[in-house]
């Protein structure tokens, strides 16, 4: 009986540990603006300052589907969720 209780306790500690870690990653990511963070503000294109019109983003590749960001409808610049230019289309 003690043994199965200990297994349940370990399971819940690991489960809540992972949940807490995910929350901490998201909070830190939002502060330092990395891929883990959440950006609720509209994204301006880093090249032409165009704001994406649609609220629902349509990912053009796996990176955009996983980590957010998008491709500008006007000039085609790819940017991350914080509006920073990425990849080969970036003009700096
Ligand atoms: Zn643009």
Does 45 share its domain with 33?
no
Does 58 share its domain with 81?
yes
pTM of model > 0.75: no
Cα dihedral: 43, 46, 69, 57 (round 10): 50
Q: What is the pLDDT of residue 88?
A: 59
Closest CA to 71 of 45, 91, 92: 45
Digit-coded pLDDT (tens) for 66-84: 999 999 989 999 999 999 9
CA of 49 from ligand 1 middle (Å) equals 6
Does 65 share its domain with 85?
yes
**Could you give the strand order of the β-sheet that contains 78-79, starting from the edge strand earlier in sequence?**
70-71, 78-79, 85-86
CA of 75 from ligand 1 middle (Å) equals 4
Residue 8 lies in domain: 1-38
Digit-coded pLDDT (tens) for 26-61: 999 999 999 999 999 889 999 999 998 666 778 999
Does 34 share its domain with 45?
no
Q: How many domains does the chain have?
A: 2
Query: What's the residue count for the chain?
Result: 92
CA of 47 from ligand 1 middle (Å) equals 5
Does 68 share its domain with 84?
yes
Does 5 share its domain with 30?
yes
End-to-end CA separation in angstroms for the chain:
64
Strand pairing category for 78-79 and 70-71: antiparallel
Q: What are phi and psi of 17, to 5 degrees?
A: -60, -45
CA of 68 from ligand 1 middle (Å) equals 16
């Amino acid at each position: 009986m003690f043994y199965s209780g200990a297994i349940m306790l370990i399971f819940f500690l690991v489960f809540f540990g992972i949940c807490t870690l995910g929350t901490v990653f998201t909070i830190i990511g939002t502060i330092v603006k990395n891929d883990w963070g959440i950006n609720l503000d509209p994204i301006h294109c880093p090249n032409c300052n165009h704001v994406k019109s649609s609220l629902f983003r349509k990912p053009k590749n796996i990176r955009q589907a996983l980590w957010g960001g998008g491709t500008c409808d006007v000039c085609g610049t790819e940017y991350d969720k914080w509006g920073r230019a990425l990849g080969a289309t970036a003009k700096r």
